[in-house]
A and B are shown apart, each in its own frame.
Chain A
């Protein structure tokens, strides 16, 4: 915007400080990565290179089944939330109705209310209403975790989609309707392609948050379900475990990939938008 005059600017210590903070942000990750290859399980010193922690964790059936539970929950919750969250965002952008601000407030409540409060409320609801009313048909299980995760996934997906909705041309859909498309056709053929990048990046965000969630899962899981964060939590409470280091590195690489994908999609859709007149 303004011509660069950074050479004139007196606060050069900020570059050094930022570099220091970059170090702070990446120190824990580097430490995890280095120790995941360390021969010695407990010492902070370097005792030689090994792959054994990776082998140990890849053959650990508890961790693998916890990973499977987490992935199942995240995929189901994100899939459900993607549909109803997108519909909600479109509905909120389109209609004015009495109680809209209340609806909106509730919809985005999970973004600000602490997880612990949501977790507690969901547990009490399930234990004192849903389970007795359904005659035991509903039990604390993978299904209840999914139902609870959908709540915050809706908020995040709708938030990202709403931002995009504010930027697209509302006349396109009207034009499709004028040309004889049914509302459903106009929605699927005109609006949905425009929203796709936002829906996908919202889904990726919700997916990572669902995979990361510890509190809501542990309050709604019951005995039979064990998600990866729950498994990690119960292990690291009892001390430092080198195979957890290996697991961390794998998970960090995976979330790095997801993040890269999300950024790439966002970047490309922005480029496309900019190239349009």
Chain B
């Protein structure tokens, strides 16, 4: 990655008489971003950590860190425990749905579409990703609401209408819709490199398609599956818009709860900070698991 790193400092013969000394270069290159990220990301993150240790703080009060009370509160009260479980459930469920729906699509594009069309088909599939996430949720409101497109369609077929909007199924639909393109992109990258000769060898040796799928295709694409699941899981865990717009009051998630602690009616910055730290912790844990798992799978190869 940083191959020129060792050669650059020794080039001082040319630049000795120039206005900008070479030792300044690293600061010129890395300084601005460092300062900006330090001010707008690092200090805020430390501040949130400090604030999460203050129970019941409101805007403008003196910060006086006093312990893990806010964290205990999340696990002590049933309401909040449910919110944590629900968030994890939405994220895990969405991951499973995206994997189930995305794998055949990625497989088809990577292995069965002629090579010159592959990029076009893939780009076509992920194109909706570039539209506003709010508007995509809004479109699902139009489709799923009681008098919406889905129910008009169902009643015209003589089927009973479904009441999905403002219930968990709507959140699963909205989140899966938003995250499916990511899953397909990552699985595609992994399935494209699949060694077809191994599949043919498996078939020659008498494996049926299902066997060769589980014994050859899946193990080979495992790193891609893990990466895709991780991305969908962590994005789903922090998703605010889909649960907020499609889930109604019954689908309170951690992200929505945090939002309410800061911009809603019941403001409690300390508690909101603790919740935010929990999300960051969960995301870090998921990434750490992947790294450990990823190392093992690459060692196996």
Q: Please count how many residues in chain A sit with their CB below 8 Å of the partner chain's CB atoms.
A: 100
Q: A4 with B234: in contact, given A93-B4, A97-B26, A154-B37 (CB under 8 Å)?
A: no
> Within 8 Å of chain A (Cβ to Cβ): is B241?
yes
With A31-B143, A88-B29 already in contact, the answer to whether A96 and B2 are too (CB < 8 A) is yes
Interface residues of B in 231-256 (CB under 8 A from A): 234-235, 237-241, 245, 255
B293: interface (CB < 8 Å)? no
Interface centre among A27, A178, A183, A251 (most CB of B within 10 A): A183
Whether the pair A219, B40 counts as a contact (CB closer than 8 A) is no
**SS of B interface (majority):** helix
Tally chain B residues at the interface, Cβ within 8 Å: 98
Min distance, Cβ A128 to any Cβ of chain B, angstroms: 7
Whole-angstrom CA separation of A215 from B42 in the bound complex: 19
B104-145: which residues lie under 8 A (CB-CB) from chain A? 104-105, 107-109, 111-112, 114, 123-125, 127-128, 130-143, 145
How many angstroms from the CA of A262 to the CA of B90 in the assembled complex?
33
* Cβ-defined partner of B180 (8 Å) among A25, A92, A211, A237: A25
Check A32/B139 contact, CB under 8 A, given A94-B4, A182-B18, A183-B25: yes
Contact between chains at A255 and B130 (CB < 8 Å): yes
Q: Is B51 interfacial (CB 8 A cutoff)?
A: yes
**B148–A88 touching, CB < 8 Å:** no
B273 proximity list for chain A (CB < 8 A)? 120, 124
Say yes or no: A85 contacts B141, CB within 8 Å: no
Q: B248-277 toward A: CB 8 Å interface, digit per residue (1/0)?
A: 000000010011001100000100110010
| B9, closest chain A residue (CB) | A95
Check A259–B33 contact: CB distance below 8 A: no
Residues on A with C-beta less than 8 A from B20 are 182-184
Q: A10-B209, A93-B2, A256-B130 are in contact. Are A232 and B15 (CB under 8 A)?
A: no
Asked if residues A9 and B136 are in contact (CB atoms below 8 Å), the reply is: no
Q: Which residues of B contact A124 (CB under 8 A)?
A: 44, 47-48, 51, 269, 273
Q: Given that A25-B128, A118-B41 are known contacts, is A87 also in contact with B108, CB under 8 Å in the complex?
A: no
Q: Is the CB of B105 within 8 A of A18?
A: yes
Q: How far, in whole Å, are A113 and B108 apart by their CA atoms in the complex?
A: 32
CB contacts (< 8 Å) of B28 on chain A: these are 87
B283 near A236 (CB under 8 angstroms)?
A: no
B window 5-33: CB within 8 A of A: 5, 7-8, 11, 14-15, 18-20, 22, 25-26, 28-30, 32-33
- Within 8 Å CB of A125, what residues of B? 40, 43-44, 47
- Whether A150 contacts B40 by the Cβ 8 Å rule is yes
Chain B residues whose CB sits within 8 angstroms of the CB of A139 once the complex forms: none
Does B200 have its Cβ within 8 Å of any Cβ on chain A? yes
In the bound complex, CA of A180 to CA of B26 (Å): 20
Q: Is the CB of A151 within 8 A of B181?
A: no
A177-B11, A251-B131 are contacts. A106–B108 as well, Cβ < 8 Å?
no
Q: Which residues on B sit within 8 Å (CB–CB) of A106?
A: 37-38, 41-42
Q: Which residues of A contact B81 (CB under 8 A)?
A: none
